[in-house]
Amino acid sequence: MSPQRQSFLYYQIQRLSKNPPTQCQPTRIVLKASVLYLSMDPQPTSPLRWLGKASFISCAGLLLATSAQAGSSSLSGKAPTPPVEAVDWKAHTIAPVTNPIFFEDAVIRSEIRPIFAHHNIDDGFFGGGDAQLYALQLRWAVTDRLALIATQDGYLDINNDTLANPDGWMDLALGFKYAVIDDPESQFILTPGLTFQIPSGDREVFQGRGGGEFNPFISFQKGYGDFHLSGNLGLRIPVVSDEQSTLLHYSLMADYYVCRWFIPFVTFNAFTVVKEGNNIGLASEGYDVINFGSSGANGVTQGMVGIGFRTRLLANVDFGVAYEKAVIQPKGLTDDRVTLDFCIRF
């Protein structure tokens, strides 16, 4: 090949290299290089020339294809694919359905939560009967760590002839919680808080007595993928200890996010009388609904095992149902109960 032809071919290769192709064009570049070389060779049928041509074309194609791959993300005209963001592990967690007044969720959320609970009273408690609770809870996430909470209110209807079938308003309970540890990488959150029960309810349903009740508590939740463990520990401290008992309460829940429509869980909730009251001569207490101030319940523990599920009706609306059964004697006020609720988040 003459020096003039070599210079011309070198110029063409350099021009193509300065304008690298997109990912779908390397074959076109190889063909162009081949055509240029073949068209400038006066002896195309020579075996030695075919070998040289093949070697040259292979090297040229490899060089240009490499340039295309290196420059494709910036020069192809297509924006690079953004990285997929990790889904927040708390998006698959749920709030407890059982023991709704004292089993406080560790996760900070803004929500409105209507609740209905039907209690079957144990036959050993003044002949049995039933009771219905209608309540509404409110939670407002002031920040991603701090929430103001209203955990108790509503209306209680007790159907028991010995107690004269009373009904009336529940006390109000207000407070706050703060997530001191929120570790997404470890899927762990730890949230202490405090509520105060205002004696604003009706005495007919054993509310509105004493000077109120403090409830310091701590809640946690730990994730293992779509499996979660939640727990709560707290102490109910009455202002007037003769009117109401001092109780330790503790709860545990395990749930698994199968899909948005089915999130099953099992729970255990218990109350232990640390210091009995002196208000009424009972040998048991009223779980989460009533603090009788029983004078014969010192050291007594009452507990319930529960099962249920939540379903995510909308992105911000969960429906929950749970069945609980008393498993520790004395059963007292509740033999078993069914709880229904909605968590409407905003």
Last-in-domain residue among 75, 108, 129 = 75
Task: Establish if 117 belongs to a structural domain.
Answer: yes
- In angstroms, rounded to a whole number, what is the distance separating the alpha carbons of residues 189 and 106? 7
pTM of the model: 0.75
Last-in-domain residue among 28, 49, 75 = 75
pLDDT tens by residue, 223-235: 999 999 999 999 9
231 shares a domain with 311: yes
pLDDT of residue 86: 53
334 shares a domain with 220: yes
b/e burial code for range 12-42 (CB count within 10 A of at least 16 → b) = ebeebeeebbeeeebeebbeebbebbeebbe
pLDDT exceeds 70 at position 22: no
Task: Establish if 207 belongs to a structural domain.
Answer: yes
Task: Establish if 81 belongs to a structural domain.
Answer: no
pLDDT exceeds 70 at position 85: no
pLDDT of residue 33: 47
> DSSP assignment, residue 88?
P
Within the chain, where are the H helices?
A: 3-18, 26-39, 47-75
115 shares a domain with 51: no
308 shares a domain with 258: yes
Task: Establish if 80 belongs to a structural domain.
Answer: no
Burial of 206 from C-beta contacts in 10 A (0-12 / 13-18 / 19+): buried
pLDDT exceeds 50 at position 68: no
Range of the domain at 40: 3-75
Beta-bridge partners for 155? 134, 169
* Between residues 31 and 317, the one the model is more confident about: 317
pLDDT exceeds 80 at position 13: no
User: CB of 225 within 8 A of CB of 255?
Assistant: no
pLDDT tens by residue, 140-198: 999 999 999 999 999 999 999 999 999 999 999 999 999 999 999 999 999 999 999 99
- Report which of 147, 113, 112, 102 is spatially closest to residue 286, judged by C-alpha positions: 102
How many separate domains does the chain show?
A: 2
Residue 308: which CATH number? 2.40.160.40
138 shares a domain with 14: no
pLDDT tens by residue, 259-304: 999 999 999 999 999 999 999 999 999 999 999 999 999 999 999 9
156 shares a domain with 38: no
- In angstroms, rounded to a whole number, what is the distance separating the alpha carbons of residues 75 and 276? 78
Report the 10 Å Cβ neighbour count for 84. Answer: 6
pLDDT tens by residue, 214-263: 999 999 999 999 999 999 999 999 999 999 999 999 999 999 999 999 99
User: CB of 203 within 8 A of CB of 209?
Assistant: yes
Last-in-domain residue among 47, 75, 103 = 75
What does pLDDT average to over the chain?
84
197 shares a domain with 244: yes
pLDDT of residue 34: 47
